[in-house]
């Protein structure tokens, strides 16, 4: 579990985020906000609908390319179950991204908030469960 009243990610727990004061949790009919898998680019929180299964592939992260982002933080799940292949990291690094950070989602939220407050051009992709 993670809490940081400064935000932008104010809370994370299994399947639930509070970002910029809005809850994002659930899936399907039980979805609140953008759901349990989110991405933040700039100040826009969106549903990470491209995330399917537990191995990250290029279409799951391509939405960040061309947005002026320099650092991408990937939350690979509370238990780290989302595999991030080296080819995905290399693809991002070859397309304007300077740094890719992969951590369990709790730590990724902490890292994202720190970089955000440090003034970095940072994006977060976060898997909210396993």
For residue 15 the two structure tokens come to 């399947």
Given this model, what pLDDT does residue 52 score? 85
What pLDDT, in 10s, does the model give residues 72-98? 999 999 999 999 999 999 999 999 999
Given this model, what pLDDT does residue 81 score? 96
What pLDDT, in 10s, does the model give residues 33-78? 999 999 999 899 999 988 888 999 999 999 999 999 999 999 999 9
> Which domains does the chain carry?
36-127 (3.40.1230.10)
Identify the sign of the CA torsion 95, 96, 98, 104: negative
Given this model, what pLDDT does residue 3 score? 97
* CA-wise closest residue to 73 among 31, 29, 40, 25: 40
């Amino acid at each position: 579990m993670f809490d940081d009243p400064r935000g932008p990610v104010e809370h994370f727990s299994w399947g639930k985020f509070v970002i910029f004061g809005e809850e994002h949790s659930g899936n399907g009919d039980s979805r609140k906000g953008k759901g349990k898998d989110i991405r933040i680019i700039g100040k826009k929180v969106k549903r990470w609908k491209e995330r399917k299964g537990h191995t990250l592939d290029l279409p799951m992260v391509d939405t960040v390319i061309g947005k002026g982002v320099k650092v991408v933080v990937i939350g690979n799940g509370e238990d780290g179950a989302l595999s991030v292949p080296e080819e995905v990291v290399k693809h991002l690094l070859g397309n304007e991204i300077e740094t890719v950070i992969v951590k369990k989602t709790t730590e990724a939220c902490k890292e994202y908030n720190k970089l955000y407050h440090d003034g970095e051009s940072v994006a977060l992709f976060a898997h909210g469960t396993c």
